[in-house]
Structure 1
């Protein structure tokens, strides 16, 4: 694929952007969200559930798998934090599957459980498509913060060695990934994770340091799986620095992947996932652009 150069989206109303407000996780969780069409388990654990929102109409509809962030750690975030964007995308005609998963502190969270949940949650779309008008040839994956890594990793799964347990035997192939303000590689995030999350969460997620468990850092990092063979969009802001996004983009481009980097003026980690805020408009446009044509 021909590499796509860095795209700076700054064409929104600048006076509005200049007065944009900083937002907290609580601010986002307070935003309105529509009731899901269905809440369903994709596994036996109470955390292995997802919310399906199906747009009005006959379909079949393209689908966005949505994965929340929260430092991969219990108590930081749940699917309520991504329910507003799942609702906003459904209003645009995209079915959304907003996935919960086990995190550090949950029984079975960390390696390999968190990654297995991302895999099984994505694959559960095949079950849902038997009952709802979902177009499995037009599936993308969208993740925020820690979920940004998850989104890229779900996209990378078919590239992983079939012997790797977390990969699964038959990964659902997505057509594009949108990673919103989160890392695409785990080892370089060690150290920065303490500043962002208040604790060394990467070593907790993977059960050790890069020297102690190098295979986990390799198998859990989308960057190590490049090229993914599909379009990727990175939204850079407070956690993913634009220079770090550009490093990813350049490495992906050298291997033939098309990666777009999106930045917006006055963005912070949460106003970019807040429908109604001007920064979200740029992110939403990038997600809509990632949907494959019929």
Structure 2
């Protein structure tokens, strides 16, 4: 994605977000949240000294639903893209009563890559425990919502407890994800590398080819963590030309065959409609979030 496309994405998302704040909740029934008159002002929490090691907490202005939504942005893991992509999503979900944790992390080009990006996502999710203590948040239901490369990181993070000692993110998580909504996630790294997706984005993230370091690929690839113990809803845009359908389909098919709770859900629109509040695609995303949060 070039700079012009990025500006187009952000501009559309910002306009749609403003309109969507006046919308009503969709999906499965839940307590009707009070709509805020002004956008929610997020609170920043840091988990390291790097400028990219922080998260934004969005708290609903009115009645709060149980649980927290962890938002992980995409951008093919590159430093040109940041958590501003997740801000319209957090604002919209907060208007529906959800507490949201919009996570930033080091990306390739600003100190990220292997293993820093993975270590940051691990630490950034666990930092949510501090915010929960400050505000009395309920973490018994914690759903990760990840778009594109963020979908990869969300599904990877849901399997942290299965990682071997010494791997980035290994050990018992302080905050355990209870489900994942992947929005056209890059869920099959080996295949994404072979296809050269994102102009070599996987190689840029991991720094080596699979043949050079197969262990690194196994530790980073959601496919090798199958079956997960938590549900994964793999949403994919019907008109997505940025991340191929095979990325979501291969993951969901393999996961189901292994006995995991996973589902491929096709939704209308392209790669960016699903991160643009006000679109039909975003409505379907909210329904998926409701499904996991209100189960």
Contact 2:163 2:171 in 1 (8 A): no
Q: 1:280 offset after TM fit, Å? A: 1.0
1:105 corresponds to: 109
Q: 1:165 offset after TM fit, Å? A: 3.1
1:189 corresponds to: 192
> What aligned pairs does 1:262-281 form with structure 2 within 5 A after superposition?
262-265=265-268, 267-281=269-283
1:79 corresponds to: 83
Q: What CA distance in whole angstroms lies between the structure 2 residues aligned with 1:222 and 1:35? A: 33
1:95 corresponds to: 99
Q: What CA distance in whole angstroms lies between the structure 1 residues aligned with 2:291 and 2:247? A: 23
- Closer/same/farther in 2, CA of residues 56 and 35 from structure 1, 3 Å limit: closer
> What aligned pairs does 1:201-280 form with structure 2 within 5 A after superposition?
201-237=201-237, 238=240, 239-265=242-268, 267-280=269-282
SS in 2 for 1:136: coil
Contact 1:142 1:151 in 2 (8 A): yes
2:200 corresponds to: 200
Contact 2:156 2:221 in 1 (8 A): yes
Q: 1:59 offset after TM fit, Å? A: 4.8
- Closer/same/farther in 2, CA of residues 58 and 243 from structure 1, 3 Å limit: closer
> Unaligned 5+ residue runs, structure 2?
1-6, 19-38
1:142 corresponds to: 145
1:70 corresponds to: 75
Q: What CA distance in whole angstroms lies between the structure 2 residues aligned with 1:290 and 1:86? A: 17
SS in 1 for 2:138: strand
2:32 corresponds to: none
Q: What CA distance in whole angstroms lies between the structure 2 residues aligned with 1:119 and 1:144? A: 17
Q: 1:164 offset after TM fit, Å? A: 3.0
1:36 corresponds to: 41
1:51 corresponds to: 56
Q: 1:242 offset after TM fit, Å? A: 3.5
TM-score, scaled to structure 2 = 0.84
> How many pairs does the alignment contain?
264
TM-score, scaled to structure 1 = 0.84
SS in 1 for 2:51: coil
* Root mean square deviation of aligned Cα: 1.9
Q: 1:279 offset after TM fit, Å? A: 1.5
